[in-house]
Chain A
Amino acid sequence: DAMVIQNPRYQVTQFGKPVTLSCSQTLNHNVMYWYQQKSSQAPKLLFHYYDKDFNNEADTPDNFQSRRPNTSFCFLDIRSPGLGDAAMYLCATSRVTGVGNEQFFGPGTRLTVL
């Protein structure tokens, strides 16, 4: 009864080769988030969707894009991965944004860039 699913769990790509990570949810939540987490660091929010409304964080590099074709799915596209993009990518959902919203995380995709 997984609620937030991420595929693949491990992804290896080459420097500069585009990669897409996927996230799906069975919670029917309005909001989906993508975070980047590097070792011993806090998860860093890249962007989020409230329904179809896309909200980019100011410091998210242009190299990162996202798509949300429907309520259940959200994709993270890394157009030209660099060595510094190796990290765990976490997808999360919440029913709404704002005060009191609890986030539910997927298991993450660990990206390796060669």
Chain B
Amino acid sequence: RKEVEQDPGPFNVPEGATVAFNCTYSNSASQSFFWYRQDCRKEPKLLMSVYSSGNEDGRFTAQLNRASQYISLLIRDSKLSDSATYLCVVNSGDKIIFGKGTRLHILP
């Protein structure tokens, strides 16, 4: 099993729809989790940290399921500007692992 695994997509979603994707991780000792957004040929930018209790920031909701070892990102009322690659990052204290990312295309 890969250390951090994401569905590469692309997810093609009409504007205004809700979309969700998951990221699974193999190290049960992993302690912190993040979602980054990366636009084409740009650097990754932190979207949100993922806490055990789940967290919400506007249209974005992130959740952590430790039992099943995955994190999720939900985007509501998607906008054209949400089109990007979403990278999952898992930190086990001494190691930071990036997923390959999930590509999201919002269609007008």
Contact = CB atoms under 8 A, between A and B. Distances in A.
Interface of A: 40-45, 88, 90, 97-108, 110
A103 B96 contact: yes
A97 B44 CA distance: 18
A8 B100 CA distance: 25
Interface string B69-80: 000000000000
A90 B38 CA distance: 12
A99 B98 contact: no
A45 B4 CA distance: 14
Contacts of B101: 42
Interface string B20-64: 000000000001101000000111111001000000000000000
Nearest to B31: A99
Given A42-B87, A42-B99, A99 B43 contact: no
Nearest to B99: A42
A99 B92 CA distance: 7
B32 A107 contact: no
A42 B101 CA distance: 7
Given A101-B32, A102-B34, A43 B49 contact: no
A106 B32 contact: no
